[in-house]
Structure 1
Amino acid sequence: MAENIDIYDANLAHLGVMERVQAHLTGQWHRAFHCWVVSADGKVLLQKRSPSSAGYPSLLDVSAAGHLEAGESVLAGAREITEELGIPVAVEELHFLGERVEVADLTNGHLNREFQSVHLLRCDVPLSGYQADPGEVVGLVWLPITDGYQLFDGSVRELTLSGYRFSADGAWEPFDMAVTTESFVPRIQRYYVTALIMAERLLAGIGPLAIS
């Protein structure tokens, strides 16, 4: 089924509505919702994208993310958390960090020109209680904030992260995976490091929280 999204100019002025794939193929600016899930013990949740994903298959990415549909508000985009991760969320629980701009040309021909509304969510539901969408998310792993700093500053080459994944028979089971910086969706900006810093500040009760 075709999905329509709002398109914008580079100043975030609304231009109209376009089918999502066509918007990507023609490099139209559009909006997306991002949420980083943070645990009380100092970890950030990463999703492992499906191997059938149109962009960056099988790589690690933001806890939950998705396009805003045509006419949809930013906060309505919080539905992505429930759709992808299977956990209920009230918008009052979200901590808004701001908007970031992402530009990328994918190998599948898509031209990504995206305004991303980024949020944090403190959530202590164990991963065994998540009901991830296997069509989009094949696994979830926790990245300890301090370990993430070491990975992205080059102090360590590889980490072993623990989480849950779908087995070959569809069972949601615990697993471990080896991770390097190449395991993540590539981004020009230091988005992952900034998200870790903001997660650490959230847990410490330190403000303000912001991202760009």
Structure 2
Amino acid sequence: MEIWDLYTKERVKTDKTMIRGEAHPRGYYRIVVHICIFNSEGKMLIQQRQPFKKGWSGFWDLTAGGSAISGDTSQSAAERELREELGIDFSFKELCPAITVNFQEGFDDIYLLDSDIDLSNLKLQFEEVQAVKWATAEEIIQMIKDKFFIPYNEDLIRLLFFLRKHKSLHTECDFTQTK
């Protein structure tokens, strides 16, 4: 049984919880995390879900992700999901999500990491993950169109690849120059 902490729309933790699979209580929100690992070639590590996994069975997905369970922070949930699904130990203590996407039932914190991971060293969680590989943004978008990848908005995929490269919302600008 998986228990989730519930939050206000301002992301303040309440004393309320819910059990996964129950009806989501109106006016309360939960935290979901996704981790996207990119290699030095600019490709994202993606995973294929097991055919027997409930929800998006057999589909490809971002590197790792899942719901924060009761007692988790966003960072500890990201650490746990990455360790459970792929056997990767990484500390998120000093990290903030690169982006948070608000959805009807909560907040989806997306973390971006750079690492040239050797896929043969990964320990795939049998219950959830059947395969992993590196993919470009174009390959992922084509997989979405071909219905092999969870149908994320294509612009979100492009944004993740953009933020991985640019790490900032601003372009470089010299404000000391005046006209």
TM-score, normalising length: structure 1: 0.69
**1:90 maps to what in 2?**
91
Provide the identity percentage: 24
Structure 1 pair 29–93 and aligned structure 2 pair: CA distance change class (3 A): closer
4+ residue segments displaced more than 3 Å = 92-95
Aligned residues: 166
The residue correspondences of 1:122-201 to structure 2 (distance < 5 A) are 122-145=114-137, 147-148=138-139, 152=141, 179-181=143-145, 182-188=147-153, 190-199=155-164, 201=165
Q: Which residue of 2 aligns with 1:76?
A: 76
Point out the structure with the larger strand share. Answer: 1
Matches for 1:17-36 after TM superposition, within 5 Å: 17-24=17-24, 29-36=29-36
Shift of 1:190: 2.7
CA contact (8 A) 1:94 1:121 kept: no
Flag the 1:8–1:58 CA change in 2: closer, same or farther, 3 A.
same
3-state SS in 1 of match to 2:38:
strand
SS of equivalent to 1:193:
helix
1:63 is the counterpart of 2:63: yes
SS of 2:97's partner is strand
> Which runs of 5 or more structure 1 residues have no equivalent in the other structure?
104-112, 153-157, 159-178
The 1:95/1:45 distance shift into structure 2, 3 A limit, reads farther
| Residue type at the aligned position of 1:101 | N
TM-score (norm. length: structure 2): 0.80
Unaligned runs of 5+ in 2: 171-179
CA contact (8 A) 1:93 1:122 kept: no
Q: Rg bigger for which structure?
A: 2
- CA 130–209 in structure 1, closer or farther in 2 if over 3 Å, else same: farther
1:209 offset after TM fit, Å? 6.0
Distance 1:58 1:84 in 2: 15
